[in-house]
Copies of this chain bind each other. A is one copy, B any other.
Amino acid sequence: MRGGRKARQQASQAAATAPASFGTASLKNPFPQMNLFSDDYISAMHEKALDILETMGIKMLLPEARQYLKSAGARVDDAAEMVFIGRELVEAALTTAPRSITLAGGSAHRDVTLELGRLVFQPGAGAPYVTDRIRGRRPGTVQDFRELIQITQYFDALHMLPPLVEMQDLAPAFRHYANMDAMLTLSDKVPHIFSRGTPQVEESFEMLRIFRGMSEDTFLKTPCCYTIINTNSPRQLDIPMAQGLIDFAKNGQVSVVTPFTLMGAMAPITVAGAITLSHAEALAGITLTQMVQAGAPVCYGTFTSNVDMKSGAPAFGTPEHFQASIAAGQLARKTGLPWRAATGSAANLNDAQAANETQMGLWGCLLAGSTMIIHSAGWLEGGLTVGYEKLITDMEVVNMIACLCTERQETQDDIGISALEEVGPGGHFFGCAHTMERYKDAFYEQLVGDLSNYGTWKEAGGRSVDERATDIWQAIIKQDKRPEIDLSKAQALSEYIDRQTQAGGALPVS
């Protein structure tokens, strides 16, 4: 019983303490950038990627996409649905794509700037399943989606909203309504819109304009939402993805072109091969956006890991995943564009394997100089599941990284000679003036880590970090802290959703 009371106290304390504010816009990446390959080799990879686009081509299933590229001068074989993109088109696209993109959030302090050197985190996304210690593993629902958006809103170090789980209890024609409702009313961070065809995308844009009170004109000039575009590697772009690139470019909204390639499966087995293919596909998507509208905001992206060659199972946070991120960073810097990379874990439980894989993958992204790190908290089972507790325990790492991004201003006094003058050989510094002036915010404060000694910890119930994480997410949801919203606009959004729902929704395109 004491354990229960204690747990509740800890939980209420967890929610009461606002998370330390780690930069309300994007962070600056303080880590040095790593190279995996020589500059010459990277140049060769870049040239080979251009060769692939020019001579082997990329299959684009959407006629409109082929037409855009054909009009710009690409060779197109409509019967084979193939587009052969000359390097001059790619080079032109890299000239017009902006180097810096500021996305407007629902509040000014939620604006996010994407450019090389900046750093933005997102939690795990796109999982069909969710799991937590209370309710077990289950298909994702609208309720899970909304709870996970609330948890994402809670942490300042998560800068953008991704679609954490798939809402399997809602028919596909209506999910985009629930997506926008949750992202806009439960958070003021930058929302994600799935590219599942023009009808859903257009309606999502309309919901955003209604809720934010934006005219179509203002919307066209204000990046305020984003979509993730995955190619169907190798060398293929499907219809909804191509529509997404076109719709977002036309509307001045942000596409993140992210080939998702597993070495040995959808990509060559080598890091160099997989990243060259990924680079070619990203360049194809980027080029399409610029042919639709020069200057359209677009991010480079990569998500390349390996499979276990015995079982075909995907692996994350491996040395090869790490190296793929590093190599992608070298190529991304060649484009000059902001870019995303991802971490993740194949573990089935929120245990040390899960923690180690996600953190290892994260360091790959950080040392690669990635602008936007996706799946930085919560991913289990190679992305099939988002874990509530995993999200919390990973946030400890993300918060620590965010803390390391804080700019420092050292004074001579920080060297602490006055403290050494006060404390003699063998003494301690607990009470000295130098300590007393600084102790309140000298150190990072743990989110879920327990620093108590073994006896104290054991007496308090001997709980694992996974158990403590349950308290924290429960407290965040119970606290139900919402951003201030304009009720009339919320009402208008709600009416729009009701109306469109009555009308049968909008089916995804495939």
Residues on A facing B (Cβ under 8 Å): 30-37, 41, 44-45, 48, 51-52, 56, 58-59, 82, 137, 232, 234-236, 263-274, 276-277, 306-309, 311-315, 318-320, 322-323, 346-357, 359-360, 363, 367, 381-382, 384-385, 390, 393, 396-397, 400, 403-404, 408, 410, 412, 414-417, 419-421, 423-430, 434-435, 438-440, 442-444, 446, 448-454, 457-458, 462, 464-466
CB closest chain-B residue, reference A41: B410
Residues of B within 8 A of A276 (CB): 415-416
Residue from B320, B384, B393 within 8 A of A443 (CB atoms): B320
Tell me whether A234 and B273 are in contact in the complex, defined as CB-CB below 8 angstroms, given that A264-B435, A449-B357 are known contacts: no
CB of B352 within 8 A of CB of A419, answer: no
CB of B415 within 8 A of CB of A449, answer: no
Q: Which 9 A-B residue pairs are closest in the complex by CB-CB distance?
A: A273-B416, A268-B416, A355-B355, A32-B32, A59-B425, A352-B355, A353-B465, A236-B425, A319-B403
**Complex Cα distance A239/B406, Å?**
42
Stoichiometry, as copies per complex, reads: 2
Residues of B within 8 A of A309 (CB): 439-440, 442-443
**Complex Cα distance A429/B309, Å?**
11
**Complex Cα distance A404/B320, Å?**
8
**Complex Cα distance A82/B453, Å?**
35
Residues of B within 8 A of A355 (CB): 351-353, 355-356, 359
Q: Give 22 pairs: A residue, B residue, CB < 8 Å, sorted on A.
A: A44-B412, A48-B417, A56-B421, A234-B423, A234-B424, A235-B425, A235-B426, A264-B443, A268-B429, A269-B429, A270-B438, A276-B415, A306-B442, A318-B444, A347-B465, A348-B453, A348-B454, A350-B352, A352-B352, A353-B355, A356-B393, A356-B397
Interface of A is mostly: mixed
Residues of B within 8 A of A438 (CB): 269-270
In whole Å, how far is A38's beta carbon from the nearest beta carbon of chain B?
A: 8
In whole Å, how far is A346's beta carbon from the nearest beta carbon of chain B?
A: 5
**Complex Cα distance A162/B438, Å?**
36
CB of A410 within 8 A of CB of B454, answer: no
In whole Å, how far is A458's beta carbon from the nearest beta carbon of chain B?
A: 7
Residues of B within 8 A of A265 (CB): 428-430
CB closest chain-B residue, reference A404: B319
Residues of B within 8 A of A350 (CB): 352
Residues of B within 8 A of A381 (CB): 453-454
Residue from B269, B274, B434, B464 within 8 A of A349 (CB atoms): B464
Residue from B34, B58, B420, B440 within 8 A of A235 (CB atoms): B420
Residues of B within 8 A of A82 (CB): 425
**Complex Cα distance A408/B465, Å?**
38
In whole Å, how far is A83's beta carbon from the nearest beta carbon of chain B?
A: 11
CB of A263 within 8 A of CB of B408, answer: no
**Complex Cα distance A273/B420, Å?**
9
In whole Å, how far is A37's beta carbon from the nearest beta carbon of chain B?
A: 6
Residues of B within 8 A of A404 (CB): 319, 322-323
Residues of B within 8 A of A272 (CB): 410, 414-416
In whole Å, how far is A436's beta carbon from the nearest beta carbon of chain B?
A: 9
CB of B359 within 8 A of CB of A360, answer: yes
Residue from B415, B451, B454 within 8 A of A311 (CB atoms): B451
In whole Å, how far is A433's beta carbon from the nearest beta carbon of chain B?
A: 11
CB closest chain-B residue, reference A406: B319
Residue from B234, B320, B416 within 8 A of A427 (CB atoms): B234
**Complex Cα distance A277/B352, Å?**
35
CB of A360 within 8 A of CB of B306, answer: no
Residues of B within 8 A of A440 (CB): 309
**Complex Cα distance A270/B273, Å?**
46
